[in-house]
Amino acid sequence: MSQKKAKIFKSLGNRHIAFDVDAKEDIIAFIKSKPIYNKKFNLIIDVILQNLRVPDLFDKEDIDNKSKDVWAMKFLKGGDNPRIYCKEVRTADKNYVIVAAAVLEKKKNQKNKAKEISLIHQVAENIYTIIEPKKENT
């Protein structure tokens, strides 16, 4: 298990989206690499924050007991089928945080292969300290 930090970047009520501090640059570069990824990312964020269930966009990666609390943001079915793997974190003050933790740029098969399983397990093992955004003085 590895201790990591995640910084919140968008919130709605007690639901939050955060980036793994170490993976943020890679994730943002992936999102910005194609306009459709940016558009889908914003749609997925809205789905999560509004607590909607849309498995084609965001779904649990419940492959085994080790993968507990891992979710996948799904960008394009067919083709490269890229994903951002996320860790679900519940804080002591009952906040729900989805931490974008790792990018998988190509998933060519329906079943998870060793590469995907390894990445999902890595995300599952992360223990996050959540960093709140700085509040502006008004």
Pairwise CA distance, residues 85 & 99, whole Å: 9
Residue 39 DSSP symbol: H
- Residue 1: what pLDDT? 74
- Residue 111: what pLDDT? 77
Task: Compute mean pLDDT per 10 residues along the chain, 138 residues long, and list them.
Answer: 93 97 98 96 98 95 90 88 96 94 86 86 96 70
- Residue 137: what pLDDT? 53
- Residue 77: what pLDDT? 78
User: Which residues on adjacent β-strands are paired with residue 20?
Assistant: 6
- Residue 107: what pLDDT? 77
User: Which residues on adjacent β-strands are paired with residue 6?
Assistant: 20, 130
| Sequential DSSP letters for 44-108 | HHHHHHTT---TTTEEE--SSGGGTTEEEEE--SSTT--EEEEEEEE-TTS-EEEEEEEEE----
Q: Is 97 exposed, middle or buried (0-12, 13-18, 19+ CB in 10 A)?
A: buried
Prediction pTM value: 0.92
Helix (H) or strand (E) holding 3: strand 2-12
Pairwise CA distance, residues 106 & 116, whole Å: 10
